[in-house]
Amino acid sequence: MEDIAWEKDQTPYYVFPCSKCRQYMYVKTTQKTKKCLRCGRAHKVEHIQDSSELVNGISTAVEVVKARQNELAIQTLGDIPDLRAAHDFKVARSHSTPKEEKDIERGENGFLEKYKKILLKISSLYHKFPLYVIEVMADNFGIPSSEIKILTRSLLKEGIIIKINSNSYRLNVEKLQ
């Protein structure tokens, strides 16, 4: 019987940034052109040879592209981006007992205290989160949607909730306590 062994891929690849959108990508050294998947710009391999990084193996090429993208994100944004799709966020169901819910103050600030507990729970699960996660959790705790909007606006003004972009928020825990 012949000995079958796995051979490590040693195909040479160039890793380079797109000249238009700065997205990093890789291309085999034997290819003539590479089209950017983000912006569609076509790159001639002969023109990128001098400004690219030569690596061996597809696994290495993918890892180098990821590393360069993270470096670019830190340089541009000051932080590694949270690249998650909206469906990646799962809503944690309330594990409180009816007695715990009765213990929460039901007066003027009753909703506010519940809302703050919800925010603490969400921020323990996610660094950044979309507004609909708050809305679903608040609905589970019996906070009306009209109150959610008022409470969110109020806590945004106080700096407890920080709006990152049109879809994402994060919690300023120091101001919450």
Residue intervals of the chain classified under CATH 3.90.820 are 12-77
For the chain (177 residues), the mean pLDDT of every run of 10, in chain order, is 68 94 94 93 94 93 92 78 64 49 43 85 84 83 84 88 85 78
What stretches of the chain show up as alpha helix (H) in DSSP?
45-48, 58-77, 98-103, 110-125, 131-140, 145-158, 173-176
pTM: 0.46
pLDDT of 15: 96
pLDDT of 123: 83
Q: How far is CA 84 from CA 4, 20, 92, 97, 163, in A?
A: 40, 24, 17, 32, 17
pLDDT of 148: 85
pLDDT of 104: 36
Q: Does domain 86-176 sit in CATH 1.10.10?
A: yes
pLDDT of 86: 62
Residue intervals of the chain classified under CATH 1.10.10 are 86-176
pLDDT of 81: 67
Pick the CATH number of 12-77 from 1.10.287, 3.40.50, 3.40.720, 3.90.820: 3.90.820
pLDDT of 107: 36
